[in-house]
Structure 1
Amino acid sequence: MPSANFKYCTFFIAAILGLFSSLAIAQQNSGLPTIELKTGIYRIQAELADTPKAREVGLMNRTTMPVNSGMLFVFEQKAGHCFWMNNTKIPLSIAFIADDGKIVNVDEMQSETTTNHCPQAPIRFALEMNKRWFSERVIVPGMIIQGLPRK
């Protein structure tokens, strides 16, 4: 039977590990506002990149992202807004979204590349998620993303 000191030591180590894990998550949190989106049966917690600076930084230098989390890029004008992955450490999928919430196209993006990924039509919204998030859930062009901000 373990001693009381062993139990307390184990608890203390677990508490310290929990604290470090919380600090790692906090370091990756950008401080951007979040919004809840929905597509089909899936709920998404998305950080809002709705300023030039937030859009420029995006998900750069992050090493992980929770499964149903992402980043929603919001632009003032509809256009062919293209994306690349320079300084982005994790591979991502991107859905280009029309004003009515319909997904125009989805693209897979490899980390640390400068390949352009562009919408097939002018858009104001783009949603980045972990790589293959959309394909693994059979979320395809024509489906609706609900909860987009109205500007």
Structure 2
Amino acid sequence: MERYGWKSLFGVCLALLFVVGTCLAADQGKTSPLVIHSGGNEHVFSVELADTPEARAEGLMYRKQLALDAGMLFIYPSKSRVSMWMKNTYVSLDMLFLDRDGTILHIAERTVPQSTAVISSRFRVKAVLELLAGTASRLGLKAGDRVEHTALAVAK
């Protein structure tokens, strides 16, 4: 061990950090289709999945923009009351709080970027869908509409 010294160990650590960072960056941006059924219409989005504690903790933080048809779907291990905030989130969002079957239970519209105010699900939920602020209003989304995604099908 002494033969390699601290400089070699430091180089190995830097290389490992680069590999881990590259893998994490590759996961960010991996998307899947999601459909919102509302008023007889289907609205298709491309969403990233946040289904691990780490992914849920980071969410859409540090993003500078979000496309009109993009979002993030947070899946929780079991139904519970969920609290969100906008700390380090630069884009205003609409948050749709979902039941196991994808039914929208509550919508928090036009959240305030970088705010630490608590945004409550109000109900026990299985998932949260984050979309660009104004999407719920633009599409006329309301409680009782349904979200369809493969992760919700297995989350029941």
Q: TM-score, normalised by structure 2?
A: 0.75
- For the pair 1:39 / 2:36, whether they are aligned, the reply is yes
Matched to 2:32, the amino acid is I
**How many percent identity over aligned positions?**
27
- Report 1:54-93 matches (<5 A): 54-93=55-94
5+ residue gaps, structure 1: 1-27
TM-superposition CA deviations, 1:60-114 (whole Å, max 9, x none)? 0100011110000001011001100000011101000000110001002110101
The answer to whether the 8 A contact 1:32-1:49 is kept is: no
Matched to 1:31, the amino acid is Q
Q: Which runs of 4+ in 1 moved over 4 A?
A: none
- For the pair 1:123 / 2:125, whether they are aligned, the reply is yes
- What's the counterpart of residue 141 of structure 2? 139
What count of residue pairs does the alignment treat as equivalent?
A: 124
Q: Distance in 2 between matches of 1:99 and 1:88?
A: 26
1:30: how far off? 5.3
Structure 1, 139-148 or 31-40: larger mean CA deviation: 31-40
Provide the aligned C-alpha RMSD in A: 1.6
Where is the strand percentage greater, Structure 1 or Structure 2? 2
